[in-house]
């Protein structure tokens, strides 16, 4: 949550701590495909971008294995290698990539203030927010145990590896319905694990999922754990029979897909920017502009619909071009 720091405007000190301030033309927060693409374009436009990588350098893609749907890699590439390539490309043109996380912002003035790790103050003429979104997990130990071994939060990224196999999708919203249908086109069978007796998904999507012959909906089921020798071979579920009665069920699966929502990493910006009810930053349609001049958003933090590496990269390019145009209009 937003927690104002006690910064003394006159002394530039936080409480009694000295604040180390630095002025930059373009600050990029976040280092996924959106952030790095913004950096490549901003650096080539002489904006001397400074990037803070955030908690998960490289972003969500570093948690995937093979990426096969990003144009330009005919043989596929692993997520970490692709992010390392993007980083090198951004650095080649002079992007200053740094460790650190933005912990507070002040977008009330003409120059935008961003605090890094609660101590370092950056004063930026333009800020490009590329902080991404984080997929929600159930919080089971087994999700960590089988990370990269059958557990995924992105069917579009990883579904291909489960062709002809049986998989499960957890969730009852539009994402779960969409991912279940996508997987149904590739896999032998898809279990859709739904904790209630109805889907939250829109009527059209819910009906489509229910009519798909190789999707079996397991109503009122919750996941207790996963099992398998090194990789997922099955899941143990608990079926709610009502009246506090329940039954344990096991299913044999090779892939376990989470689709219980994403959380955009936008909390620190909320006092200054508009967000939707989930927290996605609102931008002027067809641009990366937020409601604050000089502050731009790109990638998953502002995209509830597509959330792909390539769309994130495209919107990062838009943000850098918008930032460059903003600066040239400002300075003439
Ligand atoms: P939602 O928040 O809409 O749905 C999350 C689902 O996960 C719900 O069914 C919820 O169950 C379930 N869930 C949450 N926590 C748990 C848990 N711990 N255990 C089991 N189940 C759980 O998220 P979505 O990602 O599906 O959608 C987000 C937004 O994006 C929505 O507005 C959606 O309409 C939109 N969207 C639109 C698409 C499209 O139009 N093509 C595609 C994808 C998303 P419960 O229902 O019981 O709360």
What would the pLDDT profile of 159-206 be if each residue is shown by its tens digit?
Answer: 999 999 999 999 999 889 999 999 999 999 999 999 999 999 999 999
Selecting among 26, 157, 187, 298, the annotated active-site residue is 157
- Do residues 247 and 239 lie in contact, with contact meaning Cβ atoms separated by under 8 Å? yes
Give the burial string for 304-325 (b: 16+ CB within 10 Å, else e): eeebbbebbbbbbbbbbbbbbe
Q: What are phi and psi of 268, to 5 degrees?
A: -70, -15
- Please tell me the residue having the least CA distance from ligand 1 atom 48: 200
Are residues 234 and 250 in contact, defined by beta-carbon separation less than 8 angstroms? Answer: yes
181: nearest Cα among 157, 161, 207: 207
Q: How much distance in Å is there from the Cα of 176 to the middle of ligand 1? A: 7
Closest-CA residue, ligand 1 atom 35, reads 174
Least confident of 14-18, 56-60, 264-268: 14-18
45, pLDDT greater than 90: yes
Q: How confident is the model at residue 58 (pLDDT cuts 50, 70, 90)?
A: confident
Tokens 């279940």 locate to 180
Indicate if 267 belongs to the active site.
no
- In the chain, pLDDT over 90 holds for what percent of residues? 82
pLDDT in the model for residue 11: 45
Catalytic residue among 26, 154, 187, 298: 154
Q: 199 CA distance to ligand 1 centroid (A)?
A: 9
Q: Does the structure show a pLDDT above 50 at 10? A: no
Q: Average pLDDT in the 24-33 region?
A: 97
Please report the domains of the chain, with CATH numbers, ordered by start residue. 7-134+262-331 (3.50.50.60), 137-258 (3.50.50.60)
- State the pairing for strand pair 234-242/221-227: antiparallel
Q: What is the pLDDT of residue 56?
A: 84
Split at pLDDT 50, 70, 90, the class of 63 is low
Helix, strand, or coil (residue 87):
helix
pLDDT in tens, 80-135: 899 999 999 999 999 999 999 999 999 999 999 999 999 999 999 999 999 999 98
Distance between CA 48 and CA 248 in Å, rounded? Answer: 58
pLDDT at 7: 55
Q: How far is the CA of 21 from the centre of ligand 1 (A)?
A: 41
Residue whose CA lies nearest to ligand 1 atom number 9: 172
For ligand 1, which residues put their CB under 6 angstroms from it?
A: 138, 170-176, 178, 195-196, 200, 260-261, 304
H-type helices in the chain, by residue range?
Answer: 33-44, 79-92, 141-145, 155-158, 174-184, 203-211, 309-331
Angstrom distance (rounded) from CA 119 to CA 114 = 10
The catalytic residue among 26, 142, 158, 300 is: 158
Q: Cα of 134 to ligand 1 centre, how many Å?
A: 14
Could you write out the DSSP letters of every residue in 243-277? TTEEEEEEEE-SEEEE-S-EEES-GGGTTTS-B-T
The pLDDT, as a whole number, for residue 3 is 40
Q: How confident is the model at residue 4 (pLDDT cuts 50, 70, 90)?
A: very low
The pair of three-digit structure tokens given for residue 237, joined into one six-digit string: 């579920």
Q: Is 154 a catalytic residue?
A: yes
Q: Are 315 and 34 in contact (CB under 8 A)?
A: yes
pLDDT tens digit string along 270-329? 999 999 999 999 999 999 999 999 999 999 999 998 988 999 999 999 999 999 999 999
């Amino acid at each position: 949550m937003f927690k104002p720091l006690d910064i003394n405007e006159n002394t530039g000190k936080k409480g009694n701590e000295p604040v180390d301030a630095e002025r930059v033309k373009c600050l990029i927060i976040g280092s996924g495909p959106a952030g790095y693409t913004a950096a490549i374009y901003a650096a080539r436009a002489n904006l001397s971008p400074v990037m803070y990588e955030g908690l998960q350098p490289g972003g969500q893609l570093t948690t995937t294995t093979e990426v096969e749907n990003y144009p330009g890699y005919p043989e596929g590439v692993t997520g970490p290698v692709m992010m390392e390539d993007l980083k090198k490309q951004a650095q080649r043109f002079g992007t200053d990539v740094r460790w650190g996380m933005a912990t507070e912002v002040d977008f009330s003035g003409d120059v935008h203030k961003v605090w890094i790790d609660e101590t370092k103050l950056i004063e930026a003429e333009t800020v490009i927010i590329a902080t991404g979104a984080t997929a929600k997990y159930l919080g089971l130990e087994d999700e960590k145990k089988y990370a990269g071994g059958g557990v995924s939060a992105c069917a579009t990224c990883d579904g291909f590896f489960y062709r002809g196999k049986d998989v499960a999708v957890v969730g009852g919203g539009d994402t779960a319905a969409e991912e279940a249908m996508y997987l149904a086109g590739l896999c032998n069978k898809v279990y859709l694990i739904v904790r209630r007796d109805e889907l939250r998904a829109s009527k059209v999507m819910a009906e489509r999922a229910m009519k798909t012959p190789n999707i079996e909906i397991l109503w009122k089921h919750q996941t207790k754990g996963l099992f398998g020798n090194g990789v997922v071979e099955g899941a143990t579920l608990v079926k709610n029979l009502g009246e506090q009665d329940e039954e344990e069920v096991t299913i044999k699966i090779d892939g376990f897909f989470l689709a219980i929502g994403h959380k955009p990493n936008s909390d620190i910006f909320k006092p200054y920017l508009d967000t939707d009810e989930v927290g996605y930053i609102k931008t002027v349609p067809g641009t990366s502009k937020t409601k604050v001049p000089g502050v731009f958003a790109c990638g998953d933090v502002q995209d509830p619909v597509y959330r792909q590496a390539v769309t994130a990269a495209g919107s990062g390019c838009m943000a850098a071009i918008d930032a460059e145009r903003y600066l040239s209009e400002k300075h003439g």
